Amino acid sequence: MQRPIAQYRYYDFVMAAFVTVLLCSNLIGAAKAAEVTLPVVGTISFGAGVLFFPVSYIFGDVLTEVYGYGRDRRVIWAGFGALIFAAVMSTVVLSLKPAADPFNSDYQTHLNAVFGNTPRIVAGSMIAFWCGSFVNSYVMAKMKVRMQGRRLWMRTIGSTICGEFVDSSLFYVIAFYGIWSNRQLLSVIVAQYVLKTGWEVVMTPVTYKVVAFLKRKENEDYYDRGTDFNPFKLSA
């Protein structure tokens, strides 16, 4: 029998950290295109949010590895709900008529620039997150059972490769297909995919330490044998 969530000491903190990273990476700098010049490669353009969004996948790996797919599923839904609320709130706030003074008139312009994402971008972000996160968690859980808990590095990187592929492909196709040329669309998808997956590789030592700490403190190392992988359920 699975333990109640309340018996875990750190589960709620990991959930809060996951949702925080998810919201911030989607709201702060998500629409900003940044550039970096690398030796040999030259100048590369990328979305600023890509520097932090992959951290949510690291949390997803940690949650599935320690607590299991069912409890990660609850966290994914919590993050999805937070994204919906943020989208609704930004829509309502931007639609309100600003006060008739120079400061608020200018402020409204800045708010529109930062939070006035098109419906396609908002829809693409939420759909891509939901699908990519569940793919990541499912692959992670299945690989753990298949490998009998060995080779954590292979499981975290392998699940991220699958999840980020779904996430990057869905987001840019939904948000920009028909707006960007097919060549540009493919180029950006590949660049973002490589950057996001590379983050998982770089952060592997940190993932190992966090997983070891949580397993020790929670006395938990969950294997998803007989798990119902239906993504629409909320039960752990």
What CATH code is carried by the domain that includes residue 34? 1.10.1760
Q: Mean of the pLDDT values across residues 87-116?
A: 88
Instruction: Evaluate whether residue 231 is within a structural domain.
Output: no
Instruction: Evaluate whether residue 139 is within a structural domain.
Output: yes
pLDDT top residue among 91 and 40: 91
Could you tell me the pLDDT band of residue 215, with boundaries at 50, 70 and 90? Answer: very high
Strand positions, DSSP E, the chain:
33-38, 42-47
Determine the Cα–Cα distance for residues 98 and 42; give it in Å rounded to an integer: 44
* Other Cβ atoms closer than 10 A to 71: 22
Q: Mean of the pLDDT values across residues 164-186?
A: 87
Instruction: Evaluate whether residue 233 is within a structural domain.
Output: no
Tell me the C-alpha to C-alpha distance, in Å, between residue 58 and each of 51, 69, 86, 92, 135.
13, 14, 22, 32, 13
Instruction: Evaluate whether residue 55 is within a structural domain.
Output: yes
Number of domains observed in the structure of the chain: 1
Q: Which domain holds residue 152?
A: 5-218
Determine the Cα–Cα distance for residues 57 and 136; give it in Å rounded to an integer: 8
Instruction: Evaluate whether residue 223 is within a structural domain.
Output: no
Task: Name the region of 225 (left: φ>0; alpha: ψ -120 to 50; beta: rest).
Answer: beta
Q: What is the pTM of this model?
A: 0.88
Phi then psi for residue 38, to 5 deg, are -115, 150
Instruction: Evaluate whether residue 13 is within a structural domain.
Output: yes
Instruction: Evaluate whether residue 232 is within a structural domain.
Output: no
Instruction: Evaluate whether residue 172 is within a structural domain.
Output: yes
Determine the Cα–Cα distance for residues 66 and 56; give it in Å rounded to an integer: 15
Q: Which of 58-62, 112-116, 127-131, 157-161 has the lowest mean pLDDT?
A: 112-116
Question: Which residue in 67, 49, 108, 100 sits closest to 219, CA to CA?
Answer: 67
Q: Mean of the pLDDT values across residues 193-213?
A: 92
